[in-house]
């Protein structure tokens, strides 16, 4: 099973961002969830560019998708439209609890086109997404 993991706006700066995001880097996050995934093959894509994220979604050849579009989650109808076209399991993950943050973060445009949204569990949110995908993709 192949899972595409997309990291969007500002996630490349994990480890040097506000403490709310944790002290780990994006490379450390990716290594930890790749180890956790076991036999599932994870492919990672990272970009701060909305268009590149759309291209990655449109060109996805994996069996499932995990996405954290960062701030684009709350604003990008274009990424949401690309997600809506993708007929595989899709889970949105946020490291922080977006419901405990600024009101404009309480709604996810992109999450509305995913099968579920996991928020506030840090790296464990990605692990939970992997667990769900493994149960749904046989």
Catalytic residue selected from 36, 72, 74, 94: 94
CA dist., res. 124 & res. 138, Å (int)? 22
Strands of the sheet containing 64-68, edge to edge, are 41-46, 2-7, 64-68, 90-94, 116-119
First to last CA, the chain: 8
Q: Is 94 annotated as catalytic?
A: yes
Q: Is 106 annotated as catalytic?
A: no
CA dist., res. 46 & res. 23, Å (int)? 18
H or E segment to which residue 53 belongs: helix 50-58
Cβ 137 vs Cβ 63: under 8 Å: yes
| Residues tagged active-site | 21, 94
């Amino acid at each position: 099973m192949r899972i595409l993991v997309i990291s969007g706006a500002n996630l490349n700066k994990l480890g040097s961002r506000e403490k709310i995001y944790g002290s780990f880097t994006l490379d450390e996050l990716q290594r930890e969830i790749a180890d956790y995934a076991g036999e599932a093959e994870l492919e990672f894509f990272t970009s701060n560019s909305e268009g590149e994220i759309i291209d990655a979604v449109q060109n996805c050849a994996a069996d499932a998708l995990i996405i954290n579009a960062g701030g684009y989650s709350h604003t990008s109808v274009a990424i949401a439209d690309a997600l809506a076209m993708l007929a595989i399991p899709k889970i949105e993950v946020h490291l922080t609890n977006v419901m405990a943050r600024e009101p404009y973060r309480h709604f996810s445009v992109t999450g509305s086109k995913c099968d579920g949204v996991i928020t506030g569990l840090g790296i464990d949110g990605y692990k939970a997404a992997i667990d769900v995908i493994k149960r749904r993709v046989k």
